[in-house]
Amino acid sequence: MSQLSTGRQHPEATFPIDQRKAERLAMALPVAYTLTLPGKRAHASGRAITTILSGKAMQFITPNKIAARTPCALHLSLPGQRSPLIFSGSVVRCRAIEQRSRKRYEVAVTITHAENERTFHRYCNFVATQLLAKYL
């Protein structure tokens, strides 16, 4: 993380600059995922709760380790909406964590494709609304 000097009375004072391109939201939403396993025709699937959501990605906890670059389909359920949003994505990170005295995996998936334009619009509207609520 970069540092920025204030250049005022206390030149030694610095403030961190967040260089990420998308803001993260701590959100607990139901998500179903289906993974296309490398070198296999089989698929693995499961249900989870998101821990972080952003304009480009989401993160959730799974009981199993998932390799980076694993393609996946995501069905995200938004509050008050009957049909889930359907996305395609790819696992970018999977790291072991301890949760309730059990080993779990925190999985981050980059969203690469929305099912259709309406899905994309609903997702963008939801994320924008949550971001505005965070600052207002």
Q: Domains of the chain by range and CATH?
A: 22-135 (2.40.10.220)
pLDDT at 56: 87
Taking the chain (136 residues) in runs of 10, the rounded mean pLDDT of each run is 46 55 85 83 86 92 92 94 94 92 94 92 92 86
Could you identify the residue written with the tokens 């509050």?
79
What pLDDT shows up at residue 24? 85
Strand ranges in 10-126 using DSSP code E only, listed in sequence order: 14-17, 25-26, 30-36, 43-53, 57-62, 71-76, 85-99, 102-114
Q: What is the pLDDT of residue 134?
A: 83
Running DSSP on this structure, what letter comes out for residue 17?
A: E
